[in-house]
Amino acid sequence: MKRVISPTYLALSVLAIITVSLSGMSLAADLASSQTISVFSDNAIQFAPSDSTKFDTGSVRARQGGRVISRRVQLPKFDSPVRITGHLIIKPVPKDELEMYDRWDRAGNIRLEIPGSPDIELVKFVTAYGGRTEYNVDLSHLASLLVGEKTVKGFIDTWVTPAWKVDFSLTYSADSEAVNADWAKSMVFVESYTADTLGAKGVETVVEIPQGMSRVLLHYYVSGHCTDGTDADEFVKKDNVIYVDGNVVYRYRPWRDDCRQFRPINPYCRRWTDGSWSCDYSRSGWCPGDVVKPLELDLTDHLKPGKHTIRFVVENVRPKDANGNYGYWRISSQLLGWNKPR
Structural domains for the chain: 34-180 (2.60.120.1570), 181-342 (2.60.120.230)
Measuring CA to CA, which residue among 248, 293, 329, 241 is closest to residue 122?
293
Length of the chain: 342
Chain mean position to CA 214: 26
Where are the extended beta strands (E) located within 93-245? 107-112, 120-126, 133-138, 148-156, 164-174, 183-193, 203-209, 215-226, 240-244
The pLDDT tens digits along the chain (342 residues) read 444 444 444 444 444 444 434 434 333 334 458 999 999 999 999 998 877 887 888 899 999 999 999 999 999 999 989 999 999 999 999 999 889 999 999 999 999 999 999 999 999 999 999 999 999 999 999 999 999 999 999 999 999 999 999 999 999 999 999 999 999 999 999 999 999 999 999 999 999 999 999 999 999 999 999 999 888 999 999 999 999 999 999 999 999 999 999 999 999 998 887 888 999 999 999 999 999 999 999 999 999 999 999 999 999 999 999 999 999 999 999 999 999 765
Supply the pTM of this predicted model: 0.89
Distances (CA, A) of 14 to 5, 11, 25, 28, 31: 13, 5, 16, 21, 26
Measuring CA to CA, which residue among 252, 324, 335, 266 is closest to residue 299?
335
Q: What torsion do the CA atoms of 106, 231, 257, 296 make, to the nearest 10 degrees?
A: -70
53-79 as b/e: b if 16+ CB within 10 A? eebeeeebbbeebbbbbbbebebeebe
- Rounded to 5 degrees, what are φ and ψ at 280? -85, -20
Measuring CA to CA, which residue among 179, 184, 188 is closest to residue 206?
188
